Structure 1
Amino acid sequence: MLETPRVEEGGHVGPVNSALVPRYSGESTYALLPRLRDIETEDRSADIKVVGVPFDSGVSYRPGARFGSNHVRQSSRLLRPYNPATDTSPFAQTQVVDAGDMAINPFNINEAIEAIEQDALDLTEDGSSLMTIGGDHTIALPLLRAASARAKDPVALLHFDAHLDTWDTYFGADYTHGTPFRRAVEEGILDTEGICHVGTRGPLYGKKDLEDDRRFGFGIVTSSDVFRQGVDEIIDKLRDRVGKRPLYISVDIDVLDPAHAPGTGTPEAGGLTSRELLEIIRGLRGLNIVGADLVEVSPAYDHAEITGIAASHVAYDLITLMADLRANAASGK
């Protein structure tokens, strides 16, 4: 088998060198990064692992997010190593790899949740961080459990989504893509002084939805707030709310308007633009991010890869934040 030339910088193995290999050829890893198995040696380990969770048994409307992980990978082929928005090269700052997909039972939600939590704990046992690509939003609960266990404390949460996802049940089921953050509050794994929804909008079942949400401790930044107040003011509010707490970021791609992300299961009109979402994420630089996920990409509804491309860039900027944090910690900044 021919050896694949890669960009190597800062002592780290980076993406396939696209000046020598066409971007459309070869296996599809996230951003053409090396696989975990290819870099794990006695003297090298991964700092950030991109892992897929192809699971959508918790959806309440359109299915298909089980195919989201590989769709985002395919859509990420055009990403490049240098991020001018932050003047950093995340793949040179830290060793970032594609760790493949978790093998999750699609027929048993309880078993799936347990497996995701255990896999997340196993993957982070070496001190690495996860950038998880789903999958539906059910997966956020076990990922939060693992993040809280690693942090040894409840974690702050910024939840980017059109929906609250703090409902109690669907059809009597406790674990669905609409319930993860209610369960997380009930389990005590969220620091309720530092949790906030961003980008919510659209009709609810009743005013009680908002009353319950406030009771759980969530702040709410609606998509209208972003439009009227502006990105910079929203960033300041989010940074103040999170402070120095260990922070988990969960992004449902339906936080974007359907014009920017049609390929999702529960679209709502009036959402953020891709530009607004990316700028808000970049504004979180320096916060103590302990993990992130990106969910609800459903490729069957994604004409022209619009959603996949947006999702791949969101994941790229989240990885950039985590890489920058690790690099600064290593240098004592």
Structure 2
Amino acid sequence: MTAQPNGPTPPLPPTETDRTLHFAGQATFGRIPRIDQVEKADIAVVGVPFDGGVSYRPGARFGGNAIREASRTLRPYNPAQDVYPFHYSQVADAGDISANPFDANEAVETIEAAADELLAGGSRLMTLGGDHTIALPLLRSVAKKHGPVAVLHFDAHLDTWDEYFGQQYTHGMPFRRAVEEGVIDTSALCHVGTRGPIYGKKDLDDDAKLGFGIVTSADVMRRGVDEIAQQLRERVGDRPLYISIDIDVLDPAHAPGTGTPEAGGMTSRELLEILRGLADCHLVSADIVEVAPAYDHAGITSVAASHAAYELITIMSKQIAPVRWGMSK
């Protein structure tokens, strides 16, 4: 993309990493400015340090800041998508949403209200979790703006169970709640990367009744990323799209730092290539969740998450730039 002559003032870009130390300076995502440093954010990167809905290993409350730290080495030009994502749209770090760590019901309400405020300001959201419980309030908020949205859910697990120990707000059920509440478009839903044992065949039957299609990690391996991306594009069409990534969609070799790892997952390369294949979809917001740095050997999980978030931001930036900043392809 190129800027038109006499166009609007360019966005405030990140600190240039070739002129500063990677390991010094502010720890915003990709060294982008804080939201209080810009007039308006087209894309707001926001953390939600909540992991009160996990059923196995805790620690995802520290995921957002671990992803920010890993993003320090991201550079301004994305050659895979041929765009400067931070230069063509105003991307800013909105800090963290402080949600009650002891009360999931209250936390869900707090996250929804904070997301409402950011979206009302004209931003799209790139949310860093936190556990997958946070997807429900984010979807509620996005649906207020766009109506029911298409959802691509990258995860080892279905996350459409009904309840756990009598609780209805946990990381294993946000998408069932979202279907019940009518905030997602049941004609355009798909899990990607699922695998591993489940409680019974009824789980799959119930999931299908909710409207989800399934692309397993084995499907990705056998059919290849280009074919999978095409299938997902056809399923989503031109609907407003929300992408939710649980980092455990990756094999533990690529993402050991997560709460519920499952063997046989996708590689980080496969995830990134599928996301790049969705570049023409109408992506309105996204999240990446379940990064638990306490289990993250050498920070490789956080690195993978930061690069996935970078690709998602790039997709949104390419869509925003022609309207917001007078760009042309």
Give the TM-score range, shorter chain: over 0.9
**Per-residue displacement from partner, 1:101-134 (whole Å, max 9, x unpaired)?**
0111101100000000010000111221000000
By how many angstroms is 1:327 displaced?
1.4
TM-score by length of 1: 0.94
- Aligned counterparts, 1:223-234, within 5 A: 223-234=217-228
Structure 2 residue runs of 5 or longer lacking an equivalent are 1-7
Task: Quote the residue 1:5 is aligned against.
Answer: none
Task: Quote the residue 2:57 is aligned against.
Answer: 62
CA distance in structure 1 between the aligned counterparts of 2:233 and 2:328, rounded to whole angstroms: 22
Code of the aligned partner of 1:106? P
- Aligned counterparts, 1:196-235, within 5 A: 196-235=190-229
2:288 maps to 1:294: yes
CA distance in structure 1 between the aligned counterparts of 2:179 and 2:93, rounded to whole angstroms: 30
CA distance in structure 1 between the aligned counterparts of 2:9 and 2:85, rounded to whole angstroms: 10
2:127 maps to 1:138: no
Task: Quote the residue 1:77 is aligned against.
Answer: 72
CA distance in structure 1 between the aligned counterparts of 2:302 and 2:229, rounded to whole angstroms: 25
TM-score by length of 2: 0.95
Task: Quote the residue 1:327 is aligned against.
Answer: 321
By how many angstroms is 1:89 displaced?
0.4
CA distance in structure 2 between the aligned counterparts of 1:21 and 1:190, rounded to whole angstroms: 43
CA distance in structure 1 between the aligned counterparts of 2:299 and 2:251, rounded to whole angstroms: 15
**Per-residue displacement from partner, 1:2-49 (whole Å, max 9, x unpaired)?**
xxxxxxx97111111223221111121100111111123xxxx11000
Structure 1 residue runs of 5 or longer lacking an equivalent are 1-8
What is the CA RMSD across the aligned residues, in angstroms? 1.2
CA distance in structure 2 between the aligned counterparts of 1:48 and 1:10, rounded to whole angstroms: 17
CA distance in structure 2 between the aligned counterparts of 1:10 and 1:229, rounded to whole angstroms: 45
Identity of aligned residues (%): 64
Q: How many residues are matched?
A: 320
CA distance in structure 1 between the aligned counterparts of 2:278 and 2:141, rounded to whole angstroms: 22
Task: Quote the residue 1:248 is aligned against.
Answer: 242
**Per-residue displacement from partner, 1:129-172 (whole Å, max 9, x unpaired)?**
00000000000000000010011x11100000000000001101
Task: Quote the residue 2:181 is aligned against.
Answer: 187
Q: 2:113 aligns with which of 118, 121, 125?
A: 118
Cα 1:155–1:170, aligned 2, differ >3 Å: closer, same or farther?
Answer: same
CA distance in structure 1 between the aligned counterparts of 2:32 and 2:72, rounded to whole angstroms: 9
Task: Quote the residue 1:14 is aligned against.
Answer: 13
Task: Quote the residue 2:272 is aligned against.
Answer: 278
